[in-house]
Structure 1
Amino acid sequence: MLNVKRIRGDFPILGDVSYMDNAATSLSPEQVLSSTNDFERHYRANVGRGVHRLTNVASQRYWHAHQKIARFIGGESGITVLTKNTTEAINMVACGTKWNKGDKVVTTILEHHSDFLPWMRLRKRGVNVSIIRTDAHGSLDIKDFEAAIDENTKIVAVTHASNVLGNLLPVKEIAAICHEKGAKLLVDGAQSVPHIPIDVKELGCDYLCFSGHKMLGPTGTGILWMKEEGLQPLMLGGGMIGKVSVDDYTLAEGYEKYEAGTPNISGMIGLATAIDYLDDIGMQNIKEHEDKLTKRLLSGLHGIENVTVYGPENIHERIGVVSFNVEGMHPHEVAHILDEGAAIMTRSGEHCCQPLMNHMGLESGTVRASLYLYNTDEEVDLLIDTMEELTRRL
């Protein structure tokens, strides 16, 4: 069981607000801030360049950060690459894969634009893109994947958990189909890695992409995990080369091959500290805490007249992302009232998922409350009470 009171002490900003916009960006604890400041104050230097003491310390901790993150997702046998965010990680796969005319990508209508647009752009190169739709509740049928994935399919790209509806996709079953058909599976783990235990070996994916800023880490940090080294680097330059001459060049091995230029060193060290923080608490404990809060929130919102809640009701089929609307009110108006009236921070709008919003007939999007380890029963009850009061005035 989580000691939420102790956890909240590591996040001073929570003294003023109830923060429920974690699907966009989580907060960072004092420990993460301290580790990034420690780099800047005591051993700020570039990595893999030079032999002086400061660069040796920075290089060691930067390399160790890759190891920690790989262990966190059970990916020690693969390659863990630092990126700016999930968006860059997915684009690295889309741009680094060798494509031929007639190749196929399979994705879903649930995807964030970051796991949608890179594949759509490939249509200009003769790549076919098949988009699997959901039912009215946002659920996908595994049979649709069986029908869509064929011998021409090179990559299947799916979100692990929807950033709008919160529903978890059957990634293991999708992976089995991919392997049977010879396709590679990319999983957008931006919403799952921060909230539930993840092991890439169990998922069966070839690529896992996620963001540090959604899991207590600094902004401008993300991860591309690859089962095997096979992508062409997105950029060339310093730090990712073996040898260079006026006639040719060779590339470095491992993650360095994909990290051209000076990386976000303090960010990566901060992300490793965030991993330590999450490991110390335990991802299963975090999941159970969020499940309890999500069940409480869903039950409360479902009981309010004129409020429509989207996504699955079964707590075992979702994460703590809850989208809803109030009849006759724009989502932005509701979010503004929650902020001004109760200091509750939520997201409103299309959540970078316009195709899904159009598919569900939600032109203005939804209000989204997304929970994390530092949220409390009292905060959930405050949201429910505020919504009850709001709808009574309609």
Structure 2
Amino acid sequence: MRSLSVVGGIYRERCLQPTWDAVLGSAGRAAQALGTVKASRKRLHAYMSDRARSEVELLAELADFELVPTDLPFLVLFDYAHTLGDPVISPPIGLMGQRLPLAVKDDVVLRYGMLEGDAVVAANIAVYDPQSAFGAAAFTANGSSAKRLAVVLNRLELRSITGEEDPRAGADWLFRNDGAEVVVLKMGALGARVITPVGAWEIPLYRSERVWKLGSGDVFSATFAAMWALEDMAPDDAADIASRATAWYCGHRALPTPDAATLATMPFEQVRPGTGRIYLAAPFFDLGQRWLVEESRRALLQAGAQVFSPIHEVGPGAAEVVAPADLAGIEDCDVLLAIVNGMDPGTVFEAGYAIRKGIPVVALAENSREEDLKMFVGSGATVTSDFATAIYQAVWRLPR
């Protein structure tokens, strides 16, 4: 049985909606995810402030990890408005400085990128998740070494490290220059792609009823590491179990996930990405409403959808100009996302028009009464009180 070390950030995470406040970060969450995994020894390496120590000590004890802390004079804080938003990080990255790197040597090492320092790894088997869209470094750039290496990263990180846009070209760069054996490319709504020197496999994204995105990438990497490095699964099978575990985590907001055998038998529905345009129906008459429109539009575009937003495409104007243009926009769309907080009459009308035209409707209703939503529910609309879930449900309804 192999021994395992996890090294990465321990950060405090707060979210306004849904409410969340926990000391986790990539390393803490990975320890939770790997709490039931069998290894001869499990160690958690991290920079750590006194403010975080008691919480992390309890986390490590519950997950059966030996804690190996290195003093840090501050606790890094990530503040999110919602789980699809960009966090406000404090102290600011430019003021953190860089600590001396952590030295981690073990049979298996799961290494995450960190803001406040780095980790130099010596492992028989390593899994590396750089977790940096800009300025990401190759695994071996700091002197790390591994007899077998898997790199798990997204497109921005791949481009940052290799300079390549094409996944195969980027993977080939990592095979040649970083000594990687496997590259797992995380592609959001498109699932993941496992690439080796001899082949490539598409790994599906699995649907969850609700979508909790905070830390989902941490869970994917941790589960992949457990399956590939500890259980000796083929990389495509390991990535499939990791995708299933991530879907379970997104739906339940809890860790650890069920074991691999249970996950493999669960009837997860594969998400087959569609294409098309989403009509964004929402009031935009004050700063809060306009902010939510901007966040929704940005999230939809990042998920790969085309968006028709009346305030952006038509703008304010006379009723005889705006109404026909907006209705034409609805008819030219494949899905309508309605933000019905406050039950704005125009938004409700647009949703009803779409339903009458047979266009799928997803409604975000954070503060609406059940009675107000009766016509939405009764006419087949998807109704949710969670922002991230509404975005994903709308994207998932696009035609294939």
- The structure in which a higher percent of residues are helix is 1
Which one has more relative contact order, counting CA pairs under 8 Å at least 6 apart? Answer: 1
TM-score (norm 2): 0.29
TM-score (norm 1): 0.29
